[in-house]
Amino acid sequence: MAVAYFDHAASTPMHPEVVEAMREFFDGCYANPTGAHRMARDARRATDDARDVLAEALGARPGEIVFCGSGTEGDNLAVFGAAAGEAGPGGSGGTVVCSATEHPAVLRPVEQLGGRVVGVDRGGMLDLDALAAALDGDVRLVSVMLANNETGVVWSLAEVAEVMARHAPGALLHTDAVQAFPWLDVAALATPADLISVSAHKFGGPKGVGALVVRDGVRLQAQIVGGGQEAERRSGTPNVAGIVGMGTAAAVTLARRGEVVQRAGRLRDRLADGLRAAIGGVIETGVHPPAGAGAPVDRSAKVAGSCHLCFEGIESEALLFLAERGGVYASAASACASGAEDPSHVLAAMGYPRSLARGSLRLSLGAASSEADVETALAVLPPAVAQLRRAAA
């Protein structure tokens, strides 16, 4: 049975060019890049080349790139590191602020630090008035996603920066751009950000490697200390193969992004429109206004690969089971929350009732998505929803 993979927001297949580029650093150049001999120098040169590519892709200088183990680590380093960096030795740090729909890699550190959480509207857009009310001279960091990992909603960092300039001019702006990079020109859109997190496996690279842009002059306290790698900002032997793979994936993504966005957006629209037409009692999130069957839809505020729906009268776990039996692989929310009993915190923040949020489905497309995938989903999901509703009646 062919598989229709609609979980690209959780992880994407590696590009063939990435696999090929990494192979040398498993088989031939396996040295520690911090060494002094020729093989070590070759490894270091490869990581430096990848750093150059990623810096260009993110609108940064090579020295502003900090390689780390994941997008989660990059987010943690941004939040904890910025707060501690302001404090200095023995200090208490400043207040941190984030949106209510952030990935847990940001939301939980902010909550752990006793920070402030700002709400969003029904469409998932940040409440800028609430953000202004949460800011003051004590705020050290504001963290807002460029694109949401569940709904695909895109925010304007320029608007956030304008609010910060009026109410917390000394604060740093961090953006989790993990979901944005495959679809958006992060180098341009994240220009106002002082800190930018990305993760390789979201755009055709390997798992286990991410990066954080730390603009020159930003005070950031390392959270992993030891050998002083990454200019004392993140210690640990560099994952050379992973870093090379990330750099290659970034280059491939930049070269093909325009074509991928156009094609995936067309497939996404066909998928969403087809499901809304075939299934009653469905709400599409991240559009303005949130749309059910027959309503006009404006998806311009979402990334091209995001199709997020809520089905009345069903539970997503049961739908995912039936979908997988039919060859459709999807998710209910973010991958890290998969299997959790509580509905998505993102939908709760957007004001969706628990009864509707329990029936959410995230169908995320990527560079490898195809017409056949959409056809399979349109054939499998409507009867699956109907079966579950009959069983619940």
Residues labelled catalytic: 336
Amino acid 165 reads: A
User: What is the pairing mode between strands 306-311 and 360-364?
Assistant: antiparallel
Q: Residue 310 forms beta bridges with which residues?
A: 283, 360
Contact in structure between 99 and 126 (CB atoms under 8 Å): yes
Q: Which phi-psi region, left, alpha or beta, contains residue 59 (left: φ > 0; alpha: ψ -120 to 50)?
A: left
Contact in structure between 44 and 230 (CB atoms under 8 Å): no
> How many angstroms separate the CA atoms of 136 and 283, rounded?
37
Mind giving me the DSSP string for 262-321? HHHHHHHHHHHHHHHHH-SSEEE-SSSS-B-TTS----TTB-TTEEEEEETT--HHHHHH
User: What is the pairing mode between strands 139-143 and 116-118?
Assistant: unpaired
CA dihedral of 285, 288, 289, 291, whole degrees rounded to 10: -50
Q: How far is CA 289 from the centre of its chain?
A: 23
Radius of gyration of the chain (CA): 21
Alpha carbon separation from 121 to 128, 170, 306, 361, 375 (Å, rounded): 10, 27, 19, 20, 33
Q: Tokens 């925010």 correspond to what residue?
A: 155
